[in-house]
Amino acid sequence: MGEFDLIARYFTRPAARAVLGVGDDCALLQPAPGTQLAISSDMLVEGRHFFAGVDPFTLGHKALAVNLSDLAACGAKPLAFTLALALPRVDETWLAAFSKGLFALADAHGCELVGGDTTQGPLNICITVFGEVPVLNGKSQALLRSGAKTGDDVYVSGTLGDARLALDALRSTPALPADLLAQARRRLEQPSPRVALGQALRGVASAAIDVSDGLVGDLQHILRASGAGATINTATITPLLASRTHADWASTGIGDDKQLECVLAGGDDYELAFTAPASAREAVQAAAQSAGTPVTRIGCVETEPGLRLVDAEGKSLTRRFSSFDHFQ
Ligand code: ADP
Ligand code: MG
């Protein structure tokens, strides 16, 4: 099978909302009047972002999910995406499963594949997504990292740390009971981008980011961009490790230190961390309800720069957590 047959068979579907989809030199999109395009790219490299031999269906899902998560963080509504793909060889079983996982998530979010590039090379998947954000009275409604103000509450959506737990278990330790590993592994391999929540938070949140490299590091991006600091109560965060509620949890013997590391610095969570004024507490809960994604208030924005972690008694944590960085 050649390059063009491969594209036609696995990556071409009739354009639904795009003016022009796969097949020409460019795709054509028509953003709705009064909207801006939100654009983001994410690359997944074999051996770096995923294990060689990972299930291609979940890989197709995850490649798009991490991109949709960036749109969610900006409060954008998904429109379309492009796919640049390097494949070591044509493996039709792999391609069928990969495209199935990719399109299942794309369809769930009404996000169309409109173009891309296909080459031979080490397995590498690069997706660019396009989304739409409204402009009201000349002002973009996009959620940015830079809007947090002293006195704002800090929130995080959903659950945290299970992807990291699964990653560590798959690499070596801790050993997890099969059912618990399967649950945590779904978080690692098939994250749910918080697209509905991001849109519901437009006009409510003051700043937002998606948690991809670990909560502590990603929150600091908001704080730096906003010229602010924050204190986070770790007692509100540890319970967010979903694995703790699993029937087999007690048998793992995983201690507080490991749990804290997973929830604070785990990475691959694809939840939203955001800030909102205290006056918006009801609006935040209403947004969470409408999106079907719970949110937890975990701290407060302060004037003094830096991120401070305290325990339930307000005592500072001495332990340091660092986030993932490809070059450090
Ligand atoms: P060009 O040579 O003009 O860059 P290509 O020959 O690479 O175009 O691709 C032909 C068409 O197929 C283009 O419309 C391109 O966007 C699309 N395409 C190529 N690879 C993919 C892919 N992996 N997924 C979706 N569309 C693709
Ligand atoms: Mg090409």
Taking Cα atoms as reference points, which of 151, 201, 156 lies closest to residue 298? 156
In the block, which residue shows the tokens 């030199």?
25
Residue 191 Cα to ligand 1 midpoint, Å, equals 27
Residue 231 Cα to ligand 2 midpoint, Å, equals 49
- Mean pLDDT is lowest, of 49-53, 188-192, 210-214, for 49-53
- Two tokens at 275? 């800030």
Provide the percentage of residues in the chain whose pLDDT is more than 70. 98
Q: What are phi and psi of 153, to 5 degrees?
A: -80, 155
Ligand 1 pocket test target in 7, 85, 90, 130 with most atoms within 8 Å of CB: 7
pLDDT, one tens digit per residue, over 107-134 is: 999 999 999 999 999 999 999 999 999 9
Please give the pLDDT value at position 232. Answer: 96
Q: What are phi and psi of 36, to 5 degrees?
A: -110, 155
Please give the pLDDT value at position 328. Answer: 64
Q: Is the CB of 87 under 6 A from ligand 1?
A: no
DSSP annotation of 28 reads B
Q: Is the CB of 304 under 6 A from ligand 1?
A: no
Burial class (CB in 10 A: 0-12, 13-18, 19+), 310: middle
- Two tokens at 276? 């909102």
pTM for the complete prediction?
Answer: 0.95
Q: What does the alpha-carbon distance between residue 163 and residue 98 come to, in Å, rounded to a whole number?
A: 21
Q: Is the CB of 229 under 6 A from ligand 1?
A: no
Within 13 A of 165's CA, how many CA atoms are on the CB side? 32
- Contact in structure between 73 and 209 (CB atoms under 8 Å): yes
Three-class DSSP category at 13: coil
Contacts of 161 (CB under 8 A, 6+ apart): 240, 241, 243, 259, 262, 263, 264, 266, 269
Atom 21 in ligand 1: residue holding the nearest Cα? 116
Q: Is the CB of 115 under 6 A from ligand 1?
A: yes
Q: What does the alpha-carbon distance between residue 232 and residue 234 come to, in Å, rounded to a whole number?
A: 6
Q: Are strands 229-233 and 306-310 parallel, antiparallel or unpaired?
A: parallel
Q: Is the CB of 140 under 6 A from ligand 1?
A: no
Residue 4 Cα to ligand 2 midpoint, Å, equals 10
Q: Is the CB of 118 under 6 A from ligand 1?
A: yes
What's at 214, amino acid-wise? Answer: G
Indicate whether 325 pLDDT > 90. Answer: no
Neighbours of 3 (CB within 10 A): 13
pLDDT, one tens digit per residue, over 58-100 is: 999 999 999 999 999 999 999 999 999 999 999 999 999 999 9
